[in-house]
Amino acid sequence: MIGQIKEVSRHQNADRLYLAVVDVGQTEMRSIIFGGTRILEPGDLVPVALPGIRLSSGEKVRSRKYRGVRSYGEILSSNELGWTVDGPDEVLVLSADEFKVGDIIRQS
């Protein structure tokens, strides 16, 4: 599913993690912990997996705590989607010309 980043802040208990408030087109915003080299900004469109979704690797996404802060889904990288892209495997920022909040995306 496509989500739009509304807020980003540093995780209060981890130097390399961030907390994003994400609009996924449902009634409530989702708080999602993410890491990696790409720092997301408000307005970015990103692929999101909510709890219960199974990734292309077979891993099931769960709501879980990261250093004491609960994450209600995952912001996905190209590898987690099973997509082949040029460049490093990192969180994807998608084009508003091709995607909108709440769209369902397909894994490879």
The model's pLDDT over 26-39, given as tens digits with 9 standing for 90+, comes to 989 999 999 877 78
List Cβ neighbours of 106 (8 Å cut-off, separation of 6 or more). none
CA angle 58, 89, 108 (to 5 degrees): 40
Q: What is the pTM of this model?
A: 0.88
Strand partners for 48:
75
CA distance 26 to 23: 7
In this prediction, residue 4 has a pLDDT band, given cuts at 50, 70 and 90, of very high
In this prediction, residue 43 has a pLDDT band, given cuts at 50, 70 and 90, of very high
Burial label for 94, CB within 10 Å (0-12, 13-18, 19+), is: middle
Top pLDDT among 18 and 15 is at 18
User: Domains along the chain?
Assistant: 2-81 (2.40.50.140)
Give the tokens for residue 99: 């995607």
Top pLDDT among 67 and 4 is at 4
